[in-house]
Amino acid sequence: MPPPRPQTPMNVAVPGLKWRPRKDGWTAYWVARDDAAKRNFQIKSRQLWPPSDGTAGGEPSADEWQAISITCEDLQDEMLTWLRGGAAVSGDPAAMFDDTVTSLIRIYETDPDSPYKELRFHTAKSYDSKNRTLIAQIGGARPSLLTFRDFKRWYAGFREPAAAGKPERVARAHGLMTQIRLIFAYGVLLELPDCARLKAVLDGMEFENPKKRKTLVTAEQAIAIRAEAHRRGRPSIALAQALEFELGCRQKDAIGEWIPQSEPGLSDITEGGDKAMHGFHWKNVSPDMILTHRLSKSLRGRKATVSAESGLEKRWNLSLYPMIMEELALIPIEQRVDAMVKAEHTGLPWRHKYFQQHWREIATAVGVPLNVQNRDSRAGAATEGENAGADIETIRHGLGHSKPETTRIYTRTADEQTAKLATIRATSRNKPGTK
């Protein structure tokens, strides 16, 4: 009997990881999905651990787990990118439909006319994750037999806690039900059996949405995070924090994102098979400190990244933002090339996962509560503006929103506004001549 199988540490992503027993231990492999293997994806599996010169058995070290995670994610990305642009479904998609949810998902993922093919890379990754969960948990369900009761039961199962004593996963459940709506909606377009009926059923149902976030990063916290980042030798994180809080921009705009080079768009920053896109770039900062940038969130679909006409372009005068100017004063002119925010250990833009890890460690060290996240910098900017007297229309333009209702999601002044109304009403009662 081999020893117990190694258990994946918390917060380590290992998509496609499979363990195979050996007489004296276990061997870890990344294994391609069945549909990718059947369509002749070039990598069927790859051994990840133990190293070729090591011995089987025991547990991977922390460094080995990190290497396993990175390799799994890279191979998974390569496979999914290949699936998106690889062999197309031949013939009528209906021929693939075998009255299972799994077949419906596979059609959505592989049909050359599916909107899935136009998703931006990280959106597609999010959809892939949801689809894998759906296939694992309800893939064998038959649309011809489904009723609203099944959807209610699925939702209840999706929101169950990950472990005893943990909170319910409302956001997860809502996201998976939204994905189910999307899958059946595409089935309607293809006129697949029972999809129109089930889409109508779903249209008549509501599933609890996670509550809107109420946390924000304050100016004091942003200043403390910047100071601690410098103390730790991470000025790039200090600059990113200043940009996010002062400009009210998203993290993706400040630090960019890494996507495979096979995805649309050109970049002068590459590493291996990846390229950095959509982050602030020194070439877009004029001599008089005007930063011009196309907001990443406004780029809809893969093709938008290569069209100069797509997306919302914003301009900021950086000299108006004290925190940013304090950080820029520390960057020599000769270092102001390519990405504005670069990780010190690589000289390249941060990978999102590792930026998050380092930011969290720094924020926790200066007393920022765990429920406050880096993305709450944007809410902090909006709330500071409203508290200072800016109207919602001014804040809307500053954040780059098309609708004021969206801006309201980011302001955290509901309690203050309620108290202000109470004060105004009480004061009005005490005015001379008021009964």
Mean pLDDT to the nearest integer, 312-322: 91
- 24 or 250: whose pLDDT is higher? 250
Indicate if the pLDDT at residue 435 is higher than 90. Answer: no
CATH code of the domain occupying 219-415: 1.10.443.10
Pairing of strands 274-277, 257-260: antiparallel
- Is it the case that residue 104 has pLDDT exceeding 90? yes
- Judged by DSSP in three states, 345 sits in coil
Query: Reduced to 3 DSSP states, what percent helix, strand and coil does the chain have, rounded to the nearest 5?
Result: 50, 10, 40
Q: How far apart are the first and last CA of the chain?
A: 88
The per-residue pLDDT for 90 is 46
- Average pLDDT over the chain reads 87
Burial bucket for residue 42 (CB in 10 Å: 0-12, 13-18, 19+): exposed
The average pLDDT across 45-71 equals 78
Looking at residue 230, its pLDDT comes to: 98
Contact yes or no for 311/297 (Cβ under 8 A): no
Distance of CA 273 to the CA centre of its chain: 20
- What are the pLDDT digits (tens) for 164-176? 999 999 999 999 9
With H, G, I as helix, E, B as strand and everything else as coil, classify residue 271. Answer: strand
Give the pLDDT confidence of 259-278 residue by residue, as tens digits: 998 888 889 999 988 999 99
pTM: predicted TM-score of the whole model, two decimal places: 0.70
Whether 207 and 194 have beta carbons less than 8 Å apart is answered as: no
* Rounded Cα gap, residues 260 and 302, in angstroms: 12
At 434, give phi and psi (nearest 5°).
Answer: -95, 125
Q: What single DSSP character describes residue 296?
A: G
Distance CA 287, CA 88 (A): 49
Q: Binning pLDDT at 50, 70 and 90, where does residue 235 land?
A: very high
Q: How far apart are CA 134 and CA 157, in angstroms?
A: 11
Sequence-distant (6+) residues with CB within 8 A of 260 are 77, 78, 81, 121, 273, 274, 275
**Across residues 416-432, what is the average pLDDT?**
65
Instruction: Among 32-41, 257-266, 309-318, name the most confident range.
Output: 257-266
pLDDT band at 88 (very low <50, low <70, confident <90, very high): very low
Q: What is the DSSP string of 17-71?
A: EEEEEETTEEEEEEE--HHHHHTT-S-SEEEEES-TTS-S-S---HHHHHHHHHH
Between 98 and 390, the higher pLDDT residue: 98
Q: Answer whether residue 406 shows pLDDT above 80.
A: no
Say yes or no to pLDDT of 383 above 80: yes
From residue 274, give the alpha-carbon distance in Å to each of 15, 70, 79, 123, 337.
18, 13, 14, 16, 19
